[in-house]
């Protein structure tokens, strides 16, 4: 068997033997060895965004006269190959890493430099001097993280819109289906499933607004600020054109922060965005809790909703079917809420001119975007779209519930109505029956007051009131 050829690379710590065929270098290899936290590598969108920044920097540095044409073209060519998705195995830096993303930035620098040399024999391209020219990890990594978040966001917003449309469809279909409203898990005044589904639609509409508002802060980047936001080692041309050039390549709409020092050291934009996703997670979990409760049974529970049966629910109880889709969405919500706690703590722990903990923030925020989008998609496709309302059960609950007596209080008074309710419960008789047999109100008025329209707050006419 042949022996793999190795090359010796060095850094400020020492030397290391690297597989000669590897596009990564010593900085990437040290990261792989130093941070064996999990098997999770850098998110592909962070890598893609860093490569787009390297390509933009090579083009701008050429125009500024700080990078010669051969090196600029070689870097651009290498970046183009990487943006096609090739050589992904060369990105070995872990998702969770120390040094504020230096390992991520250097992994990309090394791969671009080695690939540029491989594609242009005889040309020497240095990872730091050439590929990283006019940059620092401290402005490229945060910018790439925000770019990745922005690229993930459309899928999440689309998923929310599909959920909202499904809820509006249910609201329209069951607009006149009366149900018993419940507060503190006790019977309250009647409402309709149209109202119920429309309320969920309103809740998720607010989530869309929160995420869209939080998105604006992500578009403001510190690219051009280099190490701490002062722009050391950049040219005026680079400062003025690097962000527009990245926009041309990425098709994003980034803006350069007006205060690059602030944008380099403070991470409140991530907290705001993560918080918006946490609010979405809370709303999703509450919604799924309601679905599981309203569909409970089917014999011994509320059984007002019928959720699509997706799989067998027990290895011991035949024919048992569980609400597995709402359950998995609940679990996603728990994870997203935990991710938000991590983002909050990491943003707070930043010190002075730089926050060292962006790697974990980016990992968790991108994970939350992915989990939420996927969870909502399965919630819509495998649950909400197939929900049906057990209208017979709802009608039965309303007719045998004492809460309908609430509509009688303006006519009989609170105390008299209370006695009526107690009697109905004790004698197991309906409110309607007692009202008519005791001649407490005119029959026509009774029918109106206990009608679905009136129970859901359509006002009684003066003519009917006068008849009583």
Catalytic residues: 314
Bridge-based pairing of strands 220-221 and 255-256 is parallel
Helix, strand, coil percentages (3-state) for the chain, rounded to 5, are 65, 10, 30
The domains spanning 6-133 and 400-467 adopt the same CATH topology:
no
What's the whole-number mean pLDDT along residues 300-320? 88
Domains of the chain by residue range: 6-133, 139-247+256-392, 400-467
205 token code pair: 């509409």
Q: Helix (H, G, I), strand (E, B), or coil: what is residue 323?
A: coil
Q: What is the CATH number of domain 6-133?
A: 1.10.275.10
Q: Taking 90 as the threshold, does the pLDDT of residue 406 lie above it?
A: no
What's the whole-number mean pLDDT along residues 172-191? 92
Q: Taking 60 as the threshold, does the pLDDT of residue 468 lie above it?
A: no
308 token code pair: 């699509």
Q: Taking 90 as the threshold, does the pLDDT of residue 433 lie above it?
A: no
Lowest mean pLDDT among 120-124, 230-234, 351-355, 399-403: 399-403
Q: Taking 90 as the threshold, does the pLDDT of residue 189 lie above it?
A: no
**pLDDT, position 314:** 78
Q: How far is CA 392 from CA 295, 304, 396, in A?
A: 14, 9, 6
Looking at the chain, the whole-number percentage of residues with pLDDT higher than 90 is 79
Which of the two residues, 452 and 35, has the higher pLDDT score? 35
Q: Give φ, ψ of 388 to 5 degrees.
A: -125, 150
Average model confidence (pLDDT) for the chain? 93
CB 50 within 8 Å of CB 141: yes
Strand residue runs (E) in 102-185? 178-183
**pLDDT, position 310:** 86
Whole-structure pTM value? 0.91
Q: What is the CATH number of domain 400-467?
A: 1.10.40.30
Q: pLDDT confidence of 3, banded at 50, 70, 90?
A: low
pLDDT tens-digit readout, 226-278: 999 999 999 999 999 999 999 999 999 999 999 999 999 999 999 999 999 99
Lowest mean pLDDT among 50-59, 124-133, 180-189: 180-189
Omega of the bond leading into 298 within 30 degrees of 0 (cis)? yes
For 242-254, give one letter per residue: b (16+ CB within 10 A) or e.
bbebbbebbebeb
Q: Helix (H, G, I), strand (E, B), or coil: what is residue 66?
A: coil
pLDDT tens-digit readout, 312-341: 877 788 788 889 999 999 999 999 999 999
Lowest mean pLDDT among 22-36, 97-111, 423-437: 423-437
CA distance linking residue 380 with residue 22, whole number of Å: 44
Lowest mean pLDDT among 117-121, 303-307, 331-335, 448-452: 448-452
First-last CA distance in the chain:
102
Q: Taking 90 as the threshold, does the pLDDT of residue 400 lie above it?
A: no
**pLDDT, position 429:** 81
Question: In this structure, which topology does domain 139-247+256-392 adopt according to CATH?
Answer: Fumarase C; Chain A, domain 2 (1.20.200)
Around Cβ 76, how many Cβ atoms within 10 Å?
A: 18
Q: Helix (H, G, I), strand (E, B), or coil: what is residue 255?
A: strand
Looking at the chain, the whole-number percentage of residues with pLDDT higher than 70 is 97
User: Going by C-beta distance under 8 Å and a sequence separation of 6 or more, which residues neighbour residue 179?
Assistant: 190, 191, 192, 193, 196, 304, 389, 394, 397, 398
């Amino acid at each position: 068997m042949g022996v793999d050829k190795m090359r010796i690379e060095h850094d400020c710590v020492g030397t290391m033997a690297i597989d000669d065929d590897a596009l990564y270098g010593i900085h990437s290899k040290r990261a792989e060895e130093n941070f064996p936290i999990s098997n999770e590598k850098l998110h592909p969108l962070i890598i893609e965004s860093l490569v787009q920044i390297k390509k933009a920097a090579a083009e701008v540095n050429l125009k500024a006269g700080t990078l010669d044409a051969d090196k600029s073209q070689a870097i651009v060519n290498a970046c183009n190959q990487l943006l096609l998705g090739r050589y992904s195995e060369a990105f070995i830096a872990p998702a969770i890493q120390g040094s504020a993303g230096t390992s991520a930035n250097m992994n990309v620098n090394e791969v671009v430099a080695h690939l540029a040399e491989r594609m242009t024999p005889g040309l020497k391209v240095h990872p730091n001097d050439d590929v990283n020219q006019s940059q620092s990890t401290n402005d490229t990594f945060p910018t790439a993280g925000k770019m990745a978040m922005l690229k993930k966001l459309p899928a999440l917003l689309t998923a929310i819109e599909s959920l909202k449309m499904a809820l509006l469809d249910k609201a329209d279909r069951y607009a006149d289906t009366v149900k018993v409203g419940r507060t503190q898990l006790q019977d309250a005044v009647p409402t309709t499933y149209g109202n119920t589904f429309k309320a969920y639609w309103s809740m998720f509409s607010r989530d869309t607004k929160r995420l869209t508002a939080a998105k604006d802060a992500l578009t403001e980047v510190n690219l051009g600020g280099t190490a701490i936001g002062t722009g050391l080692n950049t040219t005026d041309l680079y400062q003025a054109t690097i962000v527009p050039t990245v926009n041309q390549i990425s098709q994003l709409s980034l803006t350069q922060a007006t205060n690059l020092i602030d944008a380099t050291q403070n991470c409140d934009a991530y907290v705001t965005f993560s918080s918006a996703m946490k609010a979405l997670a809370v709303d999703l979990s509450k919604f799924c809790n309601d679905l599981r409760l309203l569909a409970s049974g089917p014999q011994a529970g509320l059984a007002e909703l019928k959720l699509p049966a997706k799989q067998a629910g027990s290895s011991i109880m035949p024919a048992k079917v569980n609400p597995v889709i709402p359950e998995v969405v609940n679990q996603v919500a728990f994870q997203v809420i935990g991710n938000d706690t991590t983002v909050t703590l990491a943003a707070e722990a930043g010190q002075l001119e730089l926050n060292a903990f962006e790697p974990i923030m980016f990992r968790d925020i991108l994970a939350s975007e992915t989990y939420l989008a996927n969870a909502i998609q399965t919630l819509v496709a495998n649950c909400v779209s197939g929900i049906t309302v057990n209208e017979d059960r709802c009608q039965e609950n309303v007719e045998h519930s004492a809460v309908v007596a609430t509509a009688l209080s303006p006519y009989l008074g609170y105390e008299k109505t209370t006695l009526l309710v107690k009697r109905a419960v004790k004698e197991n008789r309906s409110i309607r029956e007692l009202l008519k047999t005791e001649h407490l109100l005119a029959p026509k008025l009774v029918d109106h007051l206990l009608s679905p329209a009136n129970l859901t707050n359509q006002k009684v006419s003066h003519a009917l009131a006068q008849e009583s």
